[in-house]
Chain A
């Protein structure tokens, strides 16, 4: 079901960079009267792979969207690669250049070819020459195993291929951190594996990753730590074996009993 063999981790965790990649300190967010994120504290080291899970509406998505400021937080601090996110648009742009994001619904640009989707940001944001951007794009398309689709439009690809293009598009900006917002939830079961395999490959290369997913096989295999959220709060953080074998919080136990049958 999960597409990836459950069980022991396939590879040892990478030695972590000493630098802090993302740090959330007492972060709070409200939608109008609704308190979506409550006193969030999370520190992600460079090279660390974090899987975030929890019931829908628990604020996981909102939390990682705060990291590249697709959402604004109202209280507390967010530091990304040493840059604090404030109303300063320069800082926001700086962070977005270094943080790649993959969405549940891909958000590819339908009016551009796969190649143009990948080269757009390097050309316009990094001011890279077109030739160079295309070489890099081809490199990453090869990496996600679809270089032959470069001339097609997103609408001509399957869901799994589209999501892999979305990953390649984010990688073309050579981000230091990658955010994944339920990257396999909108895919047909047959497509899930190809996307997860791509993500495992990224993890093996030492990319700092924050992944929202319910693919528990992926969490077991790849994650350094699993974060469980409920009602806008972080309920439990643990390394995966411990998290799945001995969940400590009642809410975590209930959640795991629902999804692991």
Chain B
């Protein structure tokens, strides 16, 4: 609706609106597929350039990838001959029979074959616990937390390590390997690093000088040292100082090193979040008579952790990939099992290594991308909860 005639009469100097303007739909270029294209791909010259560049990159990379992984790939066979160009007289892509045959090794490492059901049960228990906790509308999430943080760790130790009293023979951690070790290391690191990180972050902001000093020293020391050094210290140096009979398990040592390392990074991430919360929040809570633990738990941490979700998940993703470094202290994580399998003469072909690494890439991509997506969904959900 344009300006009504009644309005025009007085429009020159003074103006009185007689008719309300009704809301109108936006122009077509702002909505639909065209609008989406304009907003997301072609909004600025720089964006147009990026869009073109990425399109070119995809055109260059995708067909090759598809050719190697699917079109030229070998899907069945019993040994290296199935995957050799000289035998098959065709171009050979990924050698998937190699992966099928060694799949059990990639998952369980050298875990004794009759006992492998225990690992399966552990995976099932873990999946169940994760689903319970991560599904935000799940019933009885408080019970889920008890299950995840108490039942699951204790159950897993008994199940995986064994307890002869329950008829479960002990399986030395030296035999553990593959996905099992990667998942155990990552899960322990993820579960332990957040609480320790929160405590360290609060400690670093504490008014008590001793607490502050300890937290700061720990964080700065651990952050100032490469993870490889921490792992070497844990696996090579520690045994020199500790009598042999008290020497903790090698996997356990790596686990502790990794968890403490992640905790120091987590502490800084959480501290960043704490600093983003205005002081007024703490004052408001103080004025209501809430104690320090109540203020932290009910007011400050929920808000601080919410703004740090992207960074927390970033640290988790880093941690998940850092678990591969344990291979240098001789622990057989997933990547290490691929390393071992790919030089097996039975499957010695030019494509074996590439296939193994492609598998590793997919494995880590699926887990890391999954974490990233979950974090995005959670952010969106929390953001819709309290619009500012």
**Which A positions have Cβ atoms within 8 angstroms of B?**
68, 70, 93, 96-97, 99-101, 103, 105-111, 120-121, 124-125, 153-156, 169-170, 173
Contacts and interface: CB of A to CB of B under 8 A. Distances in A.
Contact of A109 (B291, B299, B306, B388): B299
Nearest to B386: A153
A154 B303 CA distance: 14
A96 B286 CA distance: 8
Instruction: Return the 7 tightest CB-CB contacts between A and B, nearest first.
Output: A107-B284, A121-B288, A155-B388, A101-B287, A96-B289, A153-B386, A107-B280
Nearest to A89: B291
Contacts of A107: 280-281, 283-284, 287
A259 to B, nearest CB: 26
B76 interface: no
Given A153-B387, A155-B387, A156-B387, A111 B287 contact: no
Contacts of A110: 303, 386, 388
B302 A97 contact: no
A106 B388 CA distance: 14
29 contacts: A68-B287, A70-B283, A93-B291, A96-B289, A97-B289, A99-B287, A100-B287, A103-B280, A103-B284, A103-B287, A107-B281, A108-B284, A109-B284, A110-B386, A110-B388, A111-B302, A111-B385, A120-B288, A121-B288, A121-B289, A124-B294, A124-B298, A125-B288, A153-B387, A155-B386, A155-B387, A170-B287, A170-B288, A173-B288
A70 B385 contact: no
Please indicate which of the listed interface residues B286, B288, B289, B388 has the most CB atoms of chain A within 10 Å of its own CB.
B288
Contact of B290 (A105, A111, A121): A121
Interface of B: 280-281, 283-291, 294, 298-299, 302-303, 306, 385-388
Nearest to B306: A111
Nearest to B280: A107
Contacts of A100: 287
Contacts, number: 66
Contacts of B302: 111
B303 A111 contact: yes
Given A103-B280, A124-B294, A124-B298, A111 B288 contact: no
Q: Is the interface of B mostly helix, strand, loop or mixed?
A: helix
Contact of A96 (B287, B386, B387): B287
A93 B292 CA distance: 11
Contacts of B288: 96, 120-121, 125, 169-170, 173
Given A107-B280, A153-B385, 16 more contacts: A93-B291, A96-B286, A96-B288, A97-B289, A100-B287, A103-B283, A103-B287, A106-B284, A111-B302, A121-B290, A125-B289, A125-B294, A153-B387, A169-B288, A170-B287, A173-B289
A125 B290 CA distance: 6
Contacts of B306: 111
A14 B290 CA distance: 32
A101 B284 CA distance: 8
Contacts of B291: 93
A85 to B, nearest CB: 13
Please indicate which of the listed interface residues B287, B290, B294, B303 has the most CB atoms of chain A within 10 Å of its own CB.
B287
